[in-house]
Chain A
Amino acid sequence: MEGIIVGLSVFVLASFVGFEVINKVPPTLHTPLMSGANAISGIAVIGALIVAGPHDWNVAVVLGFIAIILATINVVGGFLVTDRMLQMFKKKEVKA
């Protein structure tokens, strides 16, 4: 149970950090912020790595393997598409 309490403290404090850090975002950045944050939520890949870690074949490892694929799509797709969007904003600022 102690683990849960420690985790909960970390969770609550990190949430407050999140609220503070992102409190004022201009509408132009709403989509990139969302897709960038979305890519970060692919951090579940770490959990997937741990679950798929043992060197044998069982249900857990297979599920972990699938989770790795899905989370990696989330991470790579999310960061790249965000960069693609922000690149457009950049190009336009130079022009303006």
Chain B
Amino acid sequence: MTDFLPTAIQVVYLVAASLFIVGLKNLGSPATARKGNTLASVGMLLAVVVTLLDRSVLNYQLILLGLAIGSGIGAVAAYKVAMTDMPQMVGLLNGLGGAASALVAVGEFWRLRGTGDIPVDAIITMILGVLIGGVTLTGSLMAFAKLQGLISGSPITFPFQQGLNALLLIGFLIGSGYLFVAPENSIIFLGLVSVSLLLGVLVVLPIGGADMPVVISLLNSLSGIAASAAGFVVMNNMLIIAGALVGASGLILTQIMCKGMNRTLSSVLFSAFGSTNLTGGGPNVTATDKAVRTLDAEEGAMMLGYARSVVIVPGYGMAVAQAQHTIRELADQLERLGVDVKYAIHPVAGRMPGHMNVLLAEANVPYPQLYDMDDVNPEFERTDVALVVGANDVVNPAARHDTTSPVYGMPILEVDKAHNTIVIKRSLNPGFAGIDNELFYKAKTVMMFGGARDVVAKLVAEVKQL
């Protein structure tokens, strides 16, 4: 009976891992998604509770204190966060997971150093744990800072950036090699920790806002792999399995996002988007040498109100202005007039996978009104008005024909094929990709300048009078 407890713990871990798998499977379908999330959280609870029974876990007061503090902060954050801030929230949570994994590796290093005997395989796993966890932590913090506007969302580059990264990586490898010779050398180990943290910062720094969906999903994947690495450190299959599942799901999302931009992962990571594109005189010059037609709210309302079909194309500008509720109101008013209203969602619109869907769901937009890019593109030719709200690069027609454009080859929503296109935008400033959008200068395009929420609110007021 002495080994009953460890066996029971392993069995419960197996149950928990199964719950994670079933939960993730259910998360993939709208009807079962909520149940899936609940199943996964039950799995997590089981895993935590049964770990507390482990004979090596004795420090109950401290542990319960930690769990209580974490739960409190987590719960408050989850209920307080605005849906528009979801990309930051997910980014930050990714980072915390990475941090925890890295700390597990560092903590284990200190424990083994205390015993004076660090086996070779432990060194390998600790180095990996520190590297992946560290990069996930600071990479996510950088993504968070960019999304929160704490630092500029545009690519930040400096000379020899790639060289520096390569140098750091080589330094990391040399340091790792040295650790095998002198495993007790904590200076070297802390050096490896610092290099990992620095690498995370440097990798995300040159990545622009428009590439954030790719970065967030990649960091999501990394946070899973970091958990797996921590699992290797403490030799626990539960962590390895759960981490691998998350790693896989994050990678799938990363792939989908890359496909949505027609870019390879390496081009997202290693060449700052739009940074090679010098627009010469900048947005002001391009704005004056090409004609743009503008529209006031009354004319806009007429155009929309007397249309048969309207397709609304939301982008990051909608999220920034928190305009989703006002847009829903506009759609309601238009439907009252008998207009057929659809929403067209580009896979990489916004700053994370599914960003627009979440916001429109918050505004109670019925799910069947949301159309994916492939389904809605053939519809534009039959659409009277395409209403673009705060989207830019995902509707740039240059992607179809201009081989010199950085967006060339990216699948776009073909709003220029609609009979008329109304673009609501704060100014003519180029999007995050830093490129001018020829859509704005087309004969069928009219612009309404202003914050998305103000402009749409004015439209709602005018449409009400029709």
Chain B, interface size category, equals 35 or more
Interface residues of B in 214-267 (CB under 8 A from A): 216-217, 220, 223-224, 226-228, 230-253, 256
How many pairs, one residue from A and one from B, have CB atoms within 8 Å of each other in the complex?
397
Q: Are A70 and B52 neighbours in the complex by a CB distance under 8 Å?
A: no
Known A38-B93, A70-B96, A79-B41; contact A49-B48, beta-carbon cutoff 8 A: yes
Binds A, one of B108-116, B400-408, B425-433, B455-463: B108-116
* B396 on interface, CB distance cutoff 8 Å: no
What chain B residues lie within 8 Å of A38 (beta carbons)?
Answer: 90, 93-94, 97, 220, 223, 246
Q: Contacts A65-B62, A73-B96, A76-B75 given: A33-B253 contact, CB under 8 Å?
A: yes
How far in angstroms is the closest Cβ of chain B from A37? 4
Asked if B86 CB lies within 8 Å of chain A CBs, one says yes
A77 touches B74 (CB 8 A): yes
B352 interface residue per 8 A CB criterion: yes
Which residue of the partner chain A has the closest CB to B119?
A: A1
Contact A39 B44 (CB under 8 A): yes
Task: Evaluate contact between B37 and A36: CB separation under 8 angstroms.
Answer: yes
A84 to B124, alpha carbons, bound, how many Å?
40
B99 — which chain A residues lie within 8 A by C-beta?
A: 67, 70
* Cα–Cα, bound, A48→B129 (Å): 13
- Of B74, B107, B241, B368, the residue contacting A59 (CB under 8 A) is B107
Bits for A73-90, please: 1 = Cβ < 8 Å to B, else 0. 111111111111111111
Q: B101 an interface residue at 8 Å Cβ cutoff?
A: yes
- Tell yes or no: B47 within 8 A of A by CB: yes
Contact check, A10 vs B237: say whether CB atoms are below 8 A apart: yes
Contact B224 A47 (CB under 8 A): no
A15 to B231, CA, bound (A): 14
Return chain A residues, CB-CB under 8 Å to B370: 28
Tell me which of B33, B73, B74 contacts A86 (CB under 8 A).
B33
Residue of A at shortest CB range from B19?
A40
Known: A17-B21, A60-B110, A73-B70. A92 touches B361 (CB 8 A): yes
Q: Chain B residues near A4 (CB, 8 Å)?
A: 121, 124-125, 232
- Which residues of B lie under 8 Å from residue A36 when comparing CB positions? 23-24, 27, 36-37, 40
Residues of A within 8 A of B40 (CB): 36, 39-40, 79
Besides the known contacts A29-B29, A37-B245, 6 further A-B residue pairs in the complex with CB atoms under 8 A apart? A7-B235, A31-B355, A40-B242, A44-B97, A50-B236, A70-B100
Provide 28 A-B residue pairs closer than 8 Å at the C-beta atoms, listed in order of the A residue. A4-B124, A14-B248, A22-B25, A25-B27, A25-B252, A27-B353, A31-B354, A34-B216, A37-B245, A38-B97, A41-B94, A44-B227, A47-B239, A48-B66, A50-B236, A51-B107, A58-B114, A59-B110, A60-B108, A64-B104, A66-B66, A67-B103, A71-B100, A76-B78, A80-B79, A83-B34, A92-B361, A96-B368
Binding site for A on B (CB under 8 A): 17, 20-21, 23-25, 27-30, 33-34, 36-38, 40-41, 44, 47-48, 51-52, 54, 56-59, 62-63, 65-67, 69-71, 73-75, 77-79, 81, 83, 86, 89-90, 93-94, 96-97, 99-101, 103-104, 106-108, 110-111, 114, 120-121, 124-125, 216-217, 220, 223-224, 226-228, 230-253, 256, 345, 347, 352-355, 357-358, 361-362, 364-368, 370, 372
